[in-house]
Chain A
Amino acid sequence: MSLKRACAIAGVAESRLGVVPDSTVLSLQAEALVDALADAGLQKSDVDGLLVSGAWGRLPGLQIAEYLGIQPAYSDSTMVGGASFEFHLGHAAAAIQAGLCKVAVILYGSTQRSRADKYIFQIRNDLGYQYEAPYGLPTPVGSYALAASRHFAQYGTTNEQLADLAVSTREWAALNPKAYRREPLTREDVLGSGPIATPLNKLDCCLFTDGGGAVVVVSPDIAKTLDKPPVWLLGQGESVSHAQISEMRDLTITPAAKSGARAFEMAGVTHSDLDVVEIYDSFTITVLLTLESLGFCPPGTGGEFIANGRTGPSGEFPLNTNGGGLSYCHPGQYGIFLIIEAVRQLRGECDARQVADATLALISGTGGVLSSNSTCILGVE
Chain B
Amino acid sequence: MSDDELPDPDSEPYWQGAASGELLYRRCGSCDAAIFYPRSLCTECGAPDPKWAVSKGIGKVYACSIVHRPPPSFKDQAPYAVLLVDLDEGFRMMSRLAEGDAESISIGDRVQVVFNDGPDGRPTPYFIPA
- A residues lining the B interface (CB < 8 Å): 123, 125-128, 130-139, 141-142, 145-150, 153, 194-200, 244-247, 251
Contacts and interface: CB of A to CB of B under 8 A. Distances in A.
10 contacts: A125-B6, A127-B8, A133-B1, A135-B82, A138-B67, A142-B65, A150-B107, A153-B63, A153-B108, A196-B68
Contact of A137 (B7, B67, B118, B124): B67
Interface of B: 1, 3, 5-8, 10-11, 36-37, 62-71, 73-74, 77, 80, 82, 84, 92-96, 106-108, 118-120, 122, 124
A149 B84 CA distance: 11
A128 B93 CA distance: 11
B33 to A, nearest CB: 12
A197 B37 contact: no
Contacts of A133: 1, 119
A133 B122 CA distance: 12
Contacts of B93: 131, 246
B82 A142 contact: yes
B6 A136 contact: no
A34 B68 CA distance: 43
Contacts of A247: 37
B125 to A, nearest CB: 9
A254 to B, nearest CB: 14
Nearest to B14: A131
B6 A197 contact: no
Nearest to A252: B63
Contact of A197 (B10, B66, B77, B92): B66
Contacts of B68: 194-198
B8 A135 contact: no
Contacts of A142: 65, 67, 82
Contacts of B71: 123, 136, 138-139
Nearest to B2: A125
Contact of B94 (A153, A195, A196, A246): A246
A196 B68 CA distance: 5
Nearest to B10: A127
Contacts of B7: 130
A135 B63 contact: no
Contact of B37 (A128, A137, A141, A146): A128
A147 B37 CA distance: 19
A136 B82 CA distance: 8
Contacts of B94: 131-132, 135, 137, 244-246
A126 B6 contact: yes
Contacts of B10: 127
Contacts of B73: 136
Nearest to A150: B63
Given A127-B8, A246-B92, A134 B124 contact: yes
Contact of A126 (B5, B74, B120): B5
B124 A146 contact: no
B65 A136 contact: no
B11 to A, nearest CB: 6
A72 to B, nearest CB: 36
Contacts of A149: 63-65, 107
Contacts of A130: 3, 6-8, 11
B123 to A, nearest CB: 10
Contacts of B64: 146, 149
A35 B92 CA distance: 48
A218 B80 CA distance: 51
A200 B69 CA distance: 11
Given A137-B67, A149-B64, 9 more contacts: A126-B8, A134-B122, A135-B82, A135-B96, A136-B73, A136-B119, A147-B63, A153-B106, A246-B93
A126 B124 CA distance: 15
B55 to A, nearest CB: 14
Nearest to B37: A131
Contacts of A135: 82, 94-96
B41 to A, nearest CB: 14
A153 B107 CA distance: 7
A162 to B, nearest CB: 14
